Structure 1
Amino acid sequence: RAGLFKVLTVALVLSTGITLLLAFSISRPLSRLSRAAKRIAAGERGVALPVGGSGEIRELSHSFRTMTEELDSRLNYISEFAADVAHEFKSPLTSIRGAAELLAEGAHEDPDARERFLNNILLDTQRLDRLVSRLLLLSRIESRVEGMTLVDLHSLLERVCKRLNAHEADDSSTHKVELYFQARHTWVRGREEDLETAFTNLIENAQRYSPKDQPVIVTAHEFPRGIVVSVADQGPGVPEARRDKIFERFYTTEAEQGGTGLGLAIVDTVARAHGGKVTLESEVGQGARFSVWLPRENKASGSR
């Protein structure tokens, strides 16, 4: 009996020790993770996260680290975006203020000067209005949470081209749009309104830079995993030094005075939101071709 009692006592001590050790190995990294979470919640950034512990704790730490990195990335995006917006608003607001001050100081007594300053104010307010409209559109696209539906890309492109060609008939400064849809499958999964906005922006951008009497060519080709829609113009092209920046927010060229610099950024945002991408091929003096790749959808399988 004494021997059995000793064995049971040793077993109890060992099991208690093992239990305490396991509890400590779990609670310690969880406690460190909890303290790190509280520091992040308080607004501290760059907090080092624990990576030790069992497999489950290590996986939890990894997921938490991924979340904080994405949060940091989003905060950086918001900070940079706010700085960009402030910069873009500053120039027209400064111009409006200067014109108003000159008018207040007596420039209104000169009819020519008054007309010139009032026209400057009108142009700057129109630019601000376009900028606000594009910013709101970009914000809506980035924050959409509703699901995607099947979209007939052929019908969508036909509708966009028909509408822009109607504008061309009323305005000789625009250019005819020719559509060549050569993809057998026409379905993609997406948000129809956003896709229509993106392709409208691309085609209008091509019209802006096309020489007189030169059409804008829109083509669609099918590939094993997707559909590529290309918009080509015969304009001046994009210099190599500017190609990497062309999709950045607020980026404009010297020839694009008065533009918002958000049209191609919206195209890029829409493409990425649909699991696709937009690329640029261009040679100076030989035009530019913007291509949007979108994953294609089998209508039969997508409608189940």
Structure 2
Amino acid sequence: MQAEIRMERLDKEKQEEINQMKIRFYVNISHELRTPLTLIIAPLQELLNRISGHWEHEQLLYIQRNTSRLLHLVNQLMDFRRAELGIFELRVVYSNAYKRVLNSFLNYESLAKRKDIDYNFYTELQDENVLFDENYLDLIVNNLLSNAFKYTEVGESITVKLYIENDDLVLQVADTGIGIPAEKQKKVFERFYQLENGREGSGIGLSLVHRLVELHHGRIALQSEVGKGSVFSIYLPQNKSVYAQEELLDGSEDIRKQRVYSTNAHDVYIGDEEKPDEENVTDVEGGKRGTILIVEDNKELRKYLVNSMADLFNLLEAENGQKAVELLKEQEVDLIITDVMMPVMDGVKLCKWVKQNLRTCHIPVYMLSAKADVKYQLEGLHVGADDYIAKPFSLEILRAKILNALRTRYRIFERYSNTTEVEPEKLTNNTMDEELLRKAIAIVEKNMDNVEFSTEQFAREMNMSRSNLHLKLKAITGKSAIDFIHKIRFNRACQLLKEGKYSVSEISFMVGYNTPSYFAARFKKYIGCLPTEYGKK
């Protein structure tokens, strides 16, 4: 008897070891698959946007569906491994569960239409805030819906319900699919278990759901009958005492931090990506196109990114962080896109150098990486990365993000141009630039009535070369060093004109202009009217 128990235990341990080996193997190859998947998915979407022929379009859609299936498997493996390692830290908060579930529900609408499935969502919680972890719920809903669509035939139905029962938030996903035999129902939550029905699947999705529900201190129930379908019910506790203190967010904390935990909560969905509005954005700052530096050691991906964005931006490229640093010492750049894992100098070290260097600290840095784990994302964000994008990524979304970043910057320049005020906290996004701008303002104000104050003296007092001062002020304000001096002086002139105590001639000398006529001409150029007219307003 003891020998049998010992053999059972050894068999169980051996099976567990095999499962762990499977997970490690699949997770390792999952990392390697992300870059080639990017080089398939991104150009494929470009082709779909351009191809008009029906047959060609259908073939490309077939490729896209199967590529997305592979991506879904990769992401499931990554998420499952994170759940196993306890990386999915639970953070519950009172929030609108209806909106979270609806977002995932809508992602499957096109699939429901394609399979002619009667697809419905019922809830009375539209306006109620309930207690749950947003990231957990996204993953749970996505995996349950993915499972339901996998086993539900054309013309059948899938129904999602969300409600409160006793002291639990209940999420229910019901289908009229093939159903699960009674003797198999306990096994469907085991890792790598697949029903013997010839359907494709990884055997990970339901196991991941089960693990996430456990971590959420909840429970999962299954009702199923062969030929009639299945009902999966998730119960998430609403009593705050169930959760540890560190698992509760008070609402003032930044919930967005949770977003780094998941590889991709909605990766199974193949949607028609909305094309960003690219009109009137290629020419910025008086006809100058934004300059993007792409740092990527994979030559194919680097060339693909360069070719795909050449219509919008000026592109520079480097094969590693060290090459990028050398280039940044010589070139003006508006935004950097960098891989994380690279030889010589990786993306994290490059980002740290950029953000700690006065010449470059204003430049946004977007990290692209096959490493989607939370620790890598946080490492990048902690050294100052402005965004962290996991491979494979959508080229159109990347382009849209870059365009939005450049738009935001140039709108700040426009506001700066249309006001006499210079407000460092509104013009900068880091302390180094803010301190530099405050120092620059103080130096100009100290030399307010100095008619011989030049950009050379300005640079000396800033402990910078004249060219570096020009480039830095241009990057922060969109204007040159001499324009910056004029702006500070005209701001002071406007204040003096409003006071009405001094003549235009007196004010011109007080703000550093040796002739009233030159002062009046420059004033009109910057302010839009003569000093005498401004004083009368």
TM-score, scaled relative to structure 1: 0.54
1:275 and 1:261 map into 2 onto residues whose CA distance is: 23
| Structure 2 contact 26–77 (Cα < 8 Å) conserved | no
Within 2, Cα distance between the matches of 1:266 and 1:156? 19
Superposition deviation, residue 284 in structure 1: 1.4
**For 1:130-149, what aligned pairs fall within 5 Å after superposition?**
131-141=73-83, 142-145=86-89, 147-149=91-93
User: What RMSD over aligned residues (CA atoms) do the two structures have, in Å?
Assistant: 3.6
Aligned to 2:207: 265
Say if 1:125 and 1:223 are closer, same or farther in 2 by CA, change over 3 A.
Answer: closer
Whether the 8 Å CA contact 2:95–2:130 is kept in 1: the answer is yes
Q: Which amino acid aligns with 2:107?
A: R
Structure 1 residue runs without a partner (length 5+): 1-74, 90-123
Q: CA deviation at 1:179?
A: 0.5
Which residue does the alignment assign to 1:224?
A: 166
> Using the alignment, how far apart are the partners of 2:187 and 2:25 within structure 1?
17
The alignment status of 1:79 with 2:23, answered yes or no, reads no
Secondary structure, aligned partner of 1:143 = coil
Instruction: Map 1:82-97; keep pairs closer than 5 Å.
Output: 82-85=20-23
Change beyond 3 A, Cα 1:215–1:223: same
> For 1:135-189, what per-residue CA distance to the aligned partner results, in whole angstroms no more than 9, with x for missing partners?
21112233223633333211111111112114434xx137353111145884443
Q: Distance in 2 between matches of 1:296 and 1:184?
A: 17
Residue in 2 that maps onto 1:239: 181
Taking CA–CA contacts closer than 8 Å with sequence separation of 6 or more, which of the two structures ends up with the larger relative contact order?
1
Distance 1:204 1:125 in 2: 16
- Mapped to 2, the partners of 1:280 and 1:258 lie a distance apart of 21
Cα shift at 1:78: 6.9
Contact 1:130 1:260 in 2 (8 A): no
Task: State the one-letter code of the partner of 1:225.
Answer: D
Check whether the contact 2:125–2:163 (CA below 8 A) recurs between aligned residues: yes
Corresponding pairs, count: 193
The correspondence for 1:213, drawn from 155, 176, 196, is 155
The answer to whether residue 145 in structure 2 is matched with residue 203 in structure 1 is yes
Distance 2:110 2:72 in 1: 22
State the one-letter code of the partner of 2:159. Answer: I
1:85 Cα offset (Å): 3.5
5 Å-filtered alignment, 1:113-192, equals: 131-141=73-83, 142-145=86-89, 147-169=91-113, 172-173=114-115, 175-183=117-125, 186-192=128-134
Q: Does 1:286 align with 2:224?
A: no
Identify if the C-alpha distance between structure 1 residues 283 and 258 changes in structure 2 by more than 3 Å, giving closer, same or farther.
closer
Inter-partner Cα distance in structure 2 for 1:150 and 1:197:
18
Gaps of 5+ in 2: 1-12, 28-65, 241-247, 252-537
More helix by share: 1
Aligned partners of 1:135 and 1:147: how far apart in 2? 22
Q: Distance in 1 between matches of 2:91 and 2:14?
A: 27
Deviation, structure 1 residue 271: 0.9
TM score, norm. by length of structure 2: 0.32
Instruction: Show CA shifts across 1:172-211 (max 9, x none).
Output: 1373531111458844433312211111111121122223
1:289 deviation in Å?
0.4
